[in-house]
Structure 1
Amino acid sequence: SDYDRRLNTCGGRAVEERRTRLISAARGLPRPADLLALAQQRLDLAVRGLPRLDDLTAPAERRFKEVAARLDAALQRNTDIHARDLLKVTARLSPDTLHRQRNDAGRRVGDLGKRLDLAARRVPERVAQHARLPALQDRMNNCAKRRLEHETNRLVGLDKLRLSLNPERPLELGFALVRKADGTIARSAGDLASGERVSLKFKAGERDAVIDGESSGVVPPPQPAPPPRPTPRPKPAASTDQGSLF
Structure 2
Amino acid sequence: MFAAARAQQKDVHSPVPFNRSYDDDNTEYGRSQGLVAKEGAGDNAAPLSITEISALLKRTVEDRFGFVRLRGELSGVKRAASGHLYCALKDDKAVIDGVMWRGGAQRLAFRPEDGIEVVATGKLTTYPGRSKYQIVIETMEIAGEGALLALLEKLRARLAAEGLFAPERKRALPFLPRTIGVVTSPTGAVIRDILHRLADRFPSRVLVWPVLVQGEGAAQQVANAVRGFSALQPGGPVPRPDLVIVARGGGSIEDLWSFNEEVVVRAVAECSIPVISAVGHETDTTLCDYAADRRAPTPTAAAEMAVPVRGELQNQLDEMGLRMRRSALRPVTLGRERLEARVQRLPRPDAILALKAQALDDLTDRLRRGLKDKAGQKRERLGVVAARLSLPLLQRQVIQAGKDLAGSGLDPRLLTRRWAQDRDRLAPFARVLPQLDPRRPLQRGYALVKNREGQALTSRAKAGAEAHLVLEFHDGELQVAVGDEAPVTAPAPTAPEAARRPARSKSTESRQGDLF
* TM-score where L is the length of structure 1: 0.32
Structure (1/2) with the larger strand percentage:
2
**Larger RCO: 1 or 2 (CA < 8 Å, sep 6+):** 1
Structure (1/2) with the larger helix percentage:
1
* TM-score where L is the length of structure 2: 0.16
